[in-house]
Amino acid sequence: MQSNAALEYDYSVAKLYTYTAILFGFVGMLIGTLIAAQLAFPELNYLFGEYGTFSRLRPLHTNVVIYGFTVSGIFATFYYAAQRVLKVSMAESKFIMFVGKLQFALYLIAATAMVVTELMGITQSKEYAQMEWPLDLLIVVIWVLWGVAMFGLIGIRREKALYISMWYFIACFLGVAMLYLFNNMAVPTYFTSGSLGSIMHSVSMYSGTNDALVQWWWGHNAVAFVFTVPIVGMIYYFLPKESGQAVYSYKLSLLSFWGLMFVYLWAGSHHLLWSTVPDWMQTMGSVFSVVLILPSWGSAINMLLTMKGEWNQLTENPLIKFMVLASTFYMLSTLEGPIQAIKSVNAIAHFTDWIPGHVHDGVLGWVAFMIMAGLFHMAPRMFKREIYSKKLVEAQFWIQTTAVVLYFTSMWIAGITQGMMWRAVDEYGNLMYSFIDTVTVLHPYYAIRALAGVLYVTGFAMFAYNMIKTMTSSRELSEEPQFRSPMA
Amino acid sequence: MFHWLEKRPFFFAVGVFVVIAFAGLIEILPNFAEASRPVEGLRPYTVLELAGKEVYKKDNCIACHSQLIRPFKAETDRYGQYSLSGEYAYDRPFLWGSKRTGPDLHRVGNYRTTDWHENHMWEPTSVVPGSIMPAYKHQFKNIADLETAYAEAVTVKNVFNVPYGDDIKPGKAAWEAYKPKVLAEAKKIAADMKNKDVKDAVAAGKVPEVVALIAYLNSLGSSRYEAKK
């Protein structure tokens, strides 16, 4: 069965998801920039009538960047990398190819329906789980199809041992499946009321504090299994491939993977500190959040040490820059999170802009950097052309890095300022500030954050332009590059 | 062991699943029965209030407003008694939010009036100078979906044993019979409002979203507790 002839991999599904990652990335970040600007300049709320208010657009922003951009990026890199680490081509099985394409078609329908329903305000109002039950069912089908494709490819693989990236893709598949199912348990009211009202409406199976627990068990671990696990899987594949270096330590990979799997789920209750959730759960969430530094830093350090002795590549290859900075931001974000999960710090940080600040140093600096670097690495191999412009990649890198720094520094200051003002009392013990004082004081920071958004989305437009040019008009390559991606 | 697992995808997947499912079993399950009990004297939301809660969800107020008062003096001074688990027993979904761009609303019914909300939803800066909240004028025109709210009441009564009266039951006829009660409640709210279009609509049997929303906001706080006998 083994043959020495080079395998011809089939990237048709990976290409489709690359297109949607670019499209949804741009749209989602554009909406993000608009809502950031709305907080600084409220007149911008009235551009699109009732569909343009901050409140209506905010979940649209999060959903388009999570389920549009990030999930497309995950599927694109999966359909690219899984074939290569398993040493099997999608073209070898008509069935798996069909499943992959069907999954993409349904994904596109679900993503479009998501955008439409959220603009209309049809929502479960659970963060990152806004979609109503018919869409949830469609997503279950999409997810199962992904599982069929994944385990189908694994079933016909030639390389018997699963590479580290596959561990993370499998974990992403299982983790999201479990969490998504339980959090979205709901009863559609139409069927239980004798056909009354809207067919889209449902009520949650859980109430109050229970609903909060299940929701943040999901909310936190959606970050784990969408923004962390598959992205770590990506860097384990793309950094060694781009740099030509072997992964620094297998043992560290093991420790980080199993550590992350075991610890991450416990930390969900740190979103509910000082709430009506029992104290012991809050404490568990705090403690495990701090323990979480170990596996998170384990992966990041493993990646940085992979570059040992080859740091000159950092100056020569902008894709290495993206990936090294991504791991650095991952370290920053996974240190910041546990700090915020300490109960006394959380008392100040919770409900303030420090939280979106924390989220964005992770998603802008780590998730998006890694996905863009991955897609850049894939482009010359999928389209058999060199990357259109190295200068553009370099410029994009610096513009976006500046944007991330502006974003999180302004939100740190804003968050801590607000948290301190809420609790400030005068010499007689009376509250010093009315609520609106703590809003107006944030104006300059909101303006800086909006500027950061403009810079970041500009960088993303440069990425999109560079990718499109690479696909269509860049110089053709006669053979597949070994390691470093060629760029003009 | 790990080398062995890495060559056996099935056992690998089972291993991962056990490791990740473990935390949920231990952390979430034990509290379930305890936390869903209502505090004494708490009544469920009326159908109009449920319709208002849908408006709250539709325009996604949780993007900026929390409904969770933490047990700190600075918070109880600002918003009132800290929140208790049993107060949320009828909240499906929970609407605690995670960001306070605006103030907490868990007891807003105790210190704001229908009149204040009407002004605020029409033009927030008219009552809070410097506010960055958008105006929600479309809520004065859009009609609230009372039938879906009624369907929700029927559902939570039958599926989750929420204590509604016998007049909340499935079917079109039951809804038509119940509807006048909802309209009567809406009329009471509209009587305290000044917007003419809203008053006309309610008089004609159509309830604009803002009326339902105000009913819901007024219910956040002490008014949902029945007086002690």
Query: How many domains does one find in chain A?
Result: 1
Q: Which residues of chain B neighbour A151 with C-beta distances below 8 Å?
A: 9
Q: Which of B100, B127, B224 to mutate to test the interface with A (most CBs of A within 10 A)?
A: B100
Is A121 part of the contact surface with chain B (CB cutoff 8 Å)? yes
The answer to whether the CB of A303 falls within 8 A of the CB of A235 is yes
Residue B208: phi, psi to the nearest 5? -65, 155
- As a whole number of angstroms, the distance between CA A466 and CA A391 comes to 10
* Helix/strand number for chain A, H first, E second: 20, 2
Q: Is the pLDDT of residue A5 over 90?
A: no
Q: Map tokens 């052309």 to a residue.
A: A385
In sequence order, which residues have a C-beta less than 8 Å from that of residue A207 and are 6 or more positions away? B36, B88, B89, B90, B91, B92, B94, B160
- As a whole number of angstroms, the distance between CA A81 and CA B80 comes to 55
Q: How much is the pTM?
A: 0.95
Q: Which two tokens stand for residue A424?
A: 């400030």
Q: Is residue A344 part of a domain?
A: no
Q: Is residue A44 part of a domain?
A: yes
Nearest to A125 among B13, B88, B95 (CB): B95
Q: Is residue A272 part of a domain?
A: no
| B101–A207 C-beta distance less than 8 A | no
Rg, chain B, Cα only: 22
| A190–B151 C-beta distance less than 8 A | yes
- Which residue on chain B is closest to A155 by alpha carbon? B9
Residue A282: phi, psi to the nearest 5? -60, -45
* AA identity, residue A449: R
Q: Is residue A317 part of a domain?
A: no
Q: Is the pLDDT of residue B44 over 90?
A: yes
| B3–A189 C-beta distance less than 8 A | no
Q: What is the pLDDT of residues A296-338, one digit of tens each?
A: 999 999 999 999 999 999 999 999 999 999 999 999 999 999 9
Q: Which residues of chain A neighbour B149 with C-beta distances below 8 Å?
A: 197
Q: Which two tokens stand for residue A173?
A: 């598949």
| B59–A207 C-beta distance less than 8 A | no
Between positions 23 and 62 of A, the ones with CB within 8 A of B are: 38-39, 42, 45-46, 49-50, 53-56, 58-59
- Which residue on chain A is closest to B103 by alpha carbon? A435
Nearest to B27 among A121, A215, A281 (CB): A281
Q: What is the pLDDT of residues A347-388, one digit of tens each?
A: 999 999 999 999 999 999 999 999 999 999 999 999 999 999
Nearest to A53 among B103, B134, B154 (CB): B134
Across the A:B interface, residue pairs with CB atoms under 8 Å apart total 273
CA dihedral of residues A277, A278, A283, A285 (deg, nearest 10): -40
CA distances from A257 to A89, A145, A179, A228 (A): 27, 25, 19, 11
CA distances from B26 to A177, A266, A272, A356, B31 (A): 19, 9, 17, 29, 10
Q: What is the pLDDT of residues A57-101, one digit of tens each?
A: 999 999 999 999 999 999 999 999 999 999 999 999 999 999 999
Q: Is residue A403 part of a domain?
A: yes
Q: What is the pLDDT of residues B50-88, one digit of tens each?
A: 999 999 999 999 999 999 999 999 999 999 999 999 999
Q: Which of A31, A179, A203, A445 to mutate to test the interface with B (most CBs of B within 10 A)?
A: A203
| B22–A121 C-beta distance less than 8 A | no
- As a whole number of angstroms, the distance between CA A123 and CA A109 comes to 17
Is A123 part of the contact surface with chain B (CB cutoff 8 Å)? yes
Q: Is the pLDDT of residue B229 over 70?
A: no
CA distances from A384 to A144, A191, A412, A486 (A): 32, 53, 44, 10
Q: Is the pLDDT of residue A169 over 80?
A: yes
Q: What is the pLDDT of residues A212-257, one digit of tens each?
A: 999 999 999 888 899 999 999 999 999 999 999 999 999 999 999 9
The answer to whether the CB of B171 falls within 8 A of the CB of A194 is yes
Q: What is the pLDDT of residues B132-187, one digit of tens each?
A: 999 999 999 999 999 999 999 999 999 999 999 999 999 999 999 999 999 999 99
The whole-number average pLDDT for the span B7-27 is 90
Q: What is the pLDDT of residues A170-205, one digit of tens each?
A: 999 999 999 999 999 999 999 999 999 999 999 999
Range of the domain at A42: 12-234+249-258+354-472
Q: Is the pLDDT of residue B32 over 80?
A: no
Distance in Å, alpha carbon of A460 to nearest chain B alpha carbon: 26
In sequence order, which residues have a C-beta less than 8 Å from that of residue B116 and are 6 or more positions away? B127
Q: What angle do CA B189, B191, B195 make, to 5 degrees?
A: 95
- Which residue on chain B is closest to A421 by alpha carbon? B74
- As a whole number of angstroms, the distance between CA B64 and CA B100 comes to 5
The answer to whether the CB of A213 falls within 8 A of the CB of A277 is yes
Would you state the pLDDT for residue B27?
79
- Which one, of A400, A394, A335, lies nearest residue A367 by Cα? A400
| B94–A209 C-beta distance less than 8 A | yes
Q: Map tokens 């789920």 to a residue.
A: A265
| B223: confidence class by pLDDT, cuts 50, 70, 90 | confident
Would you state the pLDDT for residue B24?
79
| B228: confidence class by pLDDT, cuts 50, 70, 90 | low
Q: CATH no. for residue A87?
A: 1.20.210.10
| A161–B6 C-beta distance less than 8 A | yes
| B91–A50 C-beta distance less than 8 A | no
Strand, helix or coil at A63?
Answer: helix
Would you state the pLDDT for residue B227?
62
- As a whole number of angstroms, the distance between CA B35 and CA B87 comes to 10
Q: Is residue A62 part of a domain?
A: yes
| B16–A425 C-beta distance less than 8 A | no
DSSP character at residue A202: E
Q: What is the pLDDT of residues A395-450, one digit of tens each?
A: 999 999 999 999 999 999 999 999 999 999 999 999 999 999 999 999 999 999 99
Contacts 24+ apart (CB under 8 A), A249-257: A249/A302, A249/A305, A252/A298, A252/A299, A252/A301, A252/A302, A253/A164, A253/A299, A253/A302, A254/B2, A255/A295, A255/A298, A256/A232, A256/A295, A256/A296, A256/A298, A256/A299, A256/A302, A257/A164, A257/A167, A257/A168, A257/A171, A257/A295, A257/A299
Distance in Å, alpha carbon of B36 to nearest chain A alpha carbon: 6
Nearest to A276 among B3, B58, B84 (CB): B84
Q: Which residues of chain B neighbour A284 with C-beta distances below 8 Å?
A: 27
| B13–A197 C-beta distance less than 8 A | no
Number of Cβ within a 10 Å radius of residue A71 = 24
- As a whole number of angstroms, the distance between CA B133 and CA A385 comes to 49
Would you state the pLDDT for residue B35?
65
Cis before residue A278, ω within 30 degrees of 0?
A: no
Q: Is residue A321 part of a domain?
A: no
Is A127 part of the contact surface with chain B (CB cutoff 8 Å)? yes
Would you state the pLDDT for residue A234?
98
Would you state the pLDDT for residue A1?
45
For chain A, how are helix, strand and coil distributed in percent, rounded to 5? 75, 5, 20
Q: Is residue A428 part of a domain?
A: yes
